[in-house]
Amino acid sequence: MNLTDDELRALAERRLGEAVPFRFLPSPERKALAAEAPLVRLEAGQDLFRLGKDGNEAYVLLEGSMESLDTGRSPPFRVNVIEPGSLFGERSSIFDLPRKWTARALEPSACLALGGERFLALVSGSRAFAQSLGAKLRDGQGIFDAFDHFLAEIQRAAGLGHIEIRRFMELYKKLEPAIHAHAGDESLIDWDALLYAARRLPENVSRTFLFLLTDNLPVVYASPELLFPAVPTEARRRFVYEMLGGKDMALVRTGLSDLLDFVTCLCLYAVETRKIRYRLNHPDLILALANHAGSKGAAGGDDEAFLARLPFDGDERRKLVSIWPVDTVDRIRELAFHRQVYSVDVRKQVNNYNGRLSELWTARIGAAAAKLLGVPPADFPEDWEVHIVSSNTHSVSNCLNPYFRERRDEILAWADGAGLRIGGWDSSDDEIYHLARRWFETGPDALADLASFEARYGIERASESVTTGIQAQIIDLERLRGAAIDPLIRRGAEGKIRRVVVNVDYAFGEQAEEIMKNLLMLFGRNVRSVNVLGKAGGLAAGRGDVVLPTAFVEQRGDAFMPVAWDPSNSAAALRKALPGRRVVTGPLLTVAGTLLQNRMMLNFYRRLWECVGLEMEGIWYLRALTEGAQLGVLRQDVAQRFYYYVSDAPLDRASTLAARMGPIEGLPPLYAITREVLTRILSDTVDEEEALVLPSGPAGTDGGRGR
């Protein structure tokens, strides 16, 4: 063919009308694209763009044929043949990535070139265009096949009861997790990623070979704390016990999320510690490590001096010490001898008539409520209000406990003497909450004093044991009338309504659905609000900002669930409370795991679904709420509120979860959203825009207790 420009423009209009996703654009917009976008003519064998190069134009092939080539191979490998009417090259603009292939003309060809900004404007301007493009990329081009394969293999192996980490390391590296930027570079140790994984795995991971993961304790190990030493995990609440040297038992939470988190962290750890082992792969170094183990306290037994002899530069030595601050050389010796051979046995209990862990946990919540209020939850009077808050173990009770107002001067004087105060606080109360964590480490007297205040002001902690890993508090707001709570919490007129706050710690992934279902069944139609305060990764916000979701998207199946609230009132209040920080609204992505997302995935949901952030529990909470309302377990006017502060920005390599968050970054937004929730709970009315708008429950349920 040798068409004129005018003939190519006419052909372009026809191609755009037939091709996905352009067919979903209005005709005038297609005509404008066909008339204005640059035309590119190619001779046979000519490259349009090359693998690894920058450039964000997307192209529509108008005539001729082209091929996509992996020119990184020798000889080049043909990936696909591009036919007329096809859209190609769009990944670079959507995902901010260099070209994945080389595009070469097989014969004289012509393309319509859409600049990156113009193409992204089409994505943001038309939801139909964006959704059809998303389906084309996900289903037609399989952009998430590596994740689907990894999840399928984990589920298959878990079903068989055994996961061999060495087999999964290569599958894991293909995911290219956003936090683990250098997973595939054998020459570069990703110290930040290694620190992230080490803080979330058992402390003895460097000398353990077998992990037994169970979602319910076998009867013979019903009291593991009496049988085995507990193994701490710094940054993830886990119940882990060392059964034998080299064998740990870990209790995993309901659902797949906790298992995935453990396995992916172990894969990351194995990938990076293998790089360290390769660095030490010399007989003299191995012998020196072995000899050093027996030289403690003798000449030459100093760890710092010995580290200087190892093949790590000064910055790398500091990284090693930050990851393993105690007995650093011993940890390095264990890595060198371990060879990263990890086996994970998975045991799920069946035919267990002793009750699921979540049921035992729920029973303890009910017992704590009955102890505090004198009435079991099933017998609460109709006019008592229960407000469920999923938050953390400190912010809600800190804001409500008068202890922090009455002991304020003592805490500040102690912090001054200890040199612990830092500047930059907008709220002096936030500083008190920050210092109090160290204050309580000074000895049992401070904790006993706190406990006496909690008893006086109606804050009851549910008894802790090896169950779900979720701590809980029951707070009787009746006992706080007139008390000195956080001064920035706005109270309504104190009427005769009895209000109770059930404050539960963060759930983990899918576990959130079961936890929320149990709470809703326990407190039933006394529930007046459910409030989720969480941490999110920011896609349209930075660390320390706030995100108020309007919907959740579940990544594994692209399930979309809107939140039945209008967050505008809370957004306005939070902007006043947090000057200089952003408050962003929009959909949130619920991911299967922190390590189970990469830059491509995040940009996909940021641009095609307009997600402003990501988290792990939101859609599971929302499913339980929606189901409870539809089945009549809940009233139809229950308020649902979701607030998140941004703890990391995974598309910014300097702001991922691998980099710790400072107190000035994290505490102000955490306490701002806590105050906003408590203000709404302590007000006399529920805003209409916060109430669930759902069909009535089954016939005969509206007037019942719904327990």
Output the DSSP codes for 107-120: SSEEEEEE-HHHHH
Cβ burial, residue 448 (10 Å; 0-12/13-18/19+) = exposed
Sheet holding 58-63, edge to edge: 39-42, 109-114, 58-63, 87-88
Using the 8-state DSSP alphabet, how is residue 487 labeled?
A: T
Q: The dihedral of CA 336, 338, 341, 342: what is its sign?
A: negative
Who's near 222: CB < 8 A, 6+ residues apart? none
- Report yes or no: 123 and 91 within 8 Å, Cβ to Cβ: no
Determine the Cα–Cα distance for residues 193 and 253; give it in Å rounded to an integer. Answer: 24
Quote the pLDDT of residue 420.
Answer: 95
pLDDT bucket at 701, cuts 50 / 70 / 90 = very low
Condensed to tens digits (0 to 9), the pLDDT of residues 608-658 reads 999 999 999 999 999 999 999 999 999 989 999 999 999 999 998 777 766
Q: Are strands 546-554 and 583-590 parallel, antiparallel or unpaired?
A: parallel
Asked if the model's pLDDT at residue 396 lies above 90, the reply is yes
Q: What is the pTM of this model?
A: 0.91
Condensed to tens digits (0 to 9), the pLDDT of residues 166-208 reads 999 999 999 999 999 999 999 999 999 999 999 999 999 999 9
Who's near 244: CB < 8 A, 6+ residues apart? none
Who's near 295: CB < 8 A, 6+ residues apart? 301
Mean of the per-residue pLDDT values of the chain: 91
- Report yes or no: 501 and 532 within 8 Å, Cβ to Cβ: no
pLDDT bucket at 255, cuts 50 / 70 / 90 = confident
Condensed to tens digits (0 to 9), the pLDDT of residues 569-594 reads 999 999 999 999 999 999 999 999 99
Cβ burial, residue 170 (10 Å; 0-12/13-18/19+) = exposed
Helix, strand, coil % in the chain, rounded to nearest 5 = 45, 20, 40
pLDDT bucket at 7, cuts 50 / 70 / 90 = very high
Q: Are strands 66-70 and 102-105 parallel, antiparallel or unpaired?
A: antiparallel
Cβ burial, residue 112 (10 Å; 0-12/13-18/19+) = buried
- Report yes or no: 261 and 200 within 8 Å, Cβ to Cβ: yes
Using the 8-state DSSP alphabet, how is residue 28 labeled?
A: H
Asked which of 226-240, 374-388, 562-576, 690-704 is least confident by mean pLDDT, the reply is 690-704
Cβ burial, residue 245 (10 Å; 0-12/13-18/19+) = exposed
Q: How many CB atoms lie within 10 A of CB 158?
A: 20
Length reported for the chain: 707
> 459: closest CA among 477, 446, 432?
477
Condensed to tens digits (0 to 9), the pLDDT of residues 78-121 reads 999 999 999 999 999 999 989 999 999 999 999 999 999 999 99
Q: Count CA atoms closer than 13 A to 267's CA, side-chain side.
A: 30
- Report yes or no: 592 and 256 within 8 Å, Cβ to Cβ: yes
Q: Count CA atoms closer than 13 A to 422's CA, side-chain side.
A: 11
User: Which regions of 462-542 does DSSP assign to beta strands (E)?
Assistant: 472-476, 499-504, 527-538
Site of tokens 């929320």: 516
Asked if the model's pLDDT at residue 313 lies above 70, the reply is yes
Determine the Cα–Cα distance for residues 466 and 251; give it in Å rounded to an integer. Answer: 8
Using the 8-state DSSP alphabet, how is residue 441 labeled?
A: G
pLDDT bucket at 357, cuts 50 / 70 / 90 = confident
Quote the pLDDT of residue 658.
Answer: 65
* ω into 75 cis (within 30 of 0): yes
pLDDT bucket at 702, cuts 50 / 70 / 90 = very low
Quote the pLDDT of residue 300.
Answer: 40
CA geometry: angle 614, 616, 622, nearest 5 deg: 100
Q: Are strands 385-390 and 527-538 parallel, antiparallel or unpaired?
A: parallel
Asked if the model's pLDDT at residue 567 lies above 70, the reply is yes
- Report yes or no: 531 and 418 within 8 Å, Cβ to Cβ: no
What token pair was written down for 229?
């030493």
Condensed to tens digits (0 to 9), the pLDDT of residues 504-527 reads 998 999 999 999 999 999 999 999
Rg, Å, the chain Cα set: 29
- The mean per-residue pLDDT over the stretch 438-457 comes to 94
Asked if the model's pLDDT at residue 693 lies above 50, the reply is no
What token pair was written down for 307?
């580290």
- Report yes or no: 619 and 590 within 8 Å, Cβ to Cβ: yes
Determine the Cα–Cα distance for residues 517 and 520; give it in Å rounded to an integer. Answer: 5
> 412: closest CA among 393, 394, 434?
434
Asked if the model's pLDDT at residue 686 lies above 60, the reply is no
Quote the pLDDT of residue 464.
Answer: 65
Condensed to tens digits (0 to 9), the pLDDT of residues 47-60 reads 999 999 999 999 99
C-alpha 423: how far from chain center: 30
Asked if the model's pLDDT at residue 419 lies above 50, the reply is yes
Residue ranges of the alpha helices (H) in 356-506? 357-373, 395-400, 403-406, 408-418, 428-439, 444-456
- The mean per-residue pLDDT over the stretch 290-294 comes to 82
Q: What is the 3-state secondary structure (H, E, C) of 123-162?
A: HHHCHHHHHHHHHHHHHHCCCCHHHHHHHHHHHHHHHHCE
First-last CA distance in the chain: 74
Higher pLDDT, 89 or 298: 89
pLDDT bucket at 298, cuts 50 / 70 / 90 = very low
Condensed to tens digits (0 to 9), the pLDDT of residues 459-506 reads 999 876 656 678 899 999 999 998 999 999 988 766 678 999 999 998
pLDDT bucket at 692, cuts 50 / 70 / 90 = very low
- Report yes or no: 468 and 216 within 8 Å, Cβ to Cβ: no
Longest dimension (CA), the chain: 89
Quote the pLDDT of residue 349.
Answer: 58
Q: Which domains does the chain have, with CATH numbers?
A: 5-140 (2.60.120.10), 148-345 (no CATH), 357-402+457-489+496-690 (3.40.50.1580)
Asked if the model's pLDDT at residue 699 lies above 70, the reply is no
Q: What kind and span of H or E run contains 599?
A: helix 599-608
- Report yes or no: 496 and 523 within 8 Å, Cβ to Cβ: no
Asked if the model's pLDDT at residue 695 lies above 90, the reply is no
Quote the pLDDT of residue 2.
Answer: 77
Asked if the model's pLDDT at residue 698 lies above 60, the reply is no
Dihedrals phi, psi of 426, to nearest 5 degrees? -80, -30
- Report yes or no: 146 and 174 within 8 Å, Cβ to Cβ: yes
Determine the Cα–Cα distance for residues 141 and 87; give it in Å rounded to an integer. Answer: 12
Q: The dihedral of CA 684, 690, 695, 697: what is its sign?
A: negative
Determine the Cα–Cα distance for residues 339 and 540; give it in Å rounded to an integer. Answer: 41
pLDDT bucket at 216, cuts 50 / 70 / 90 = confident
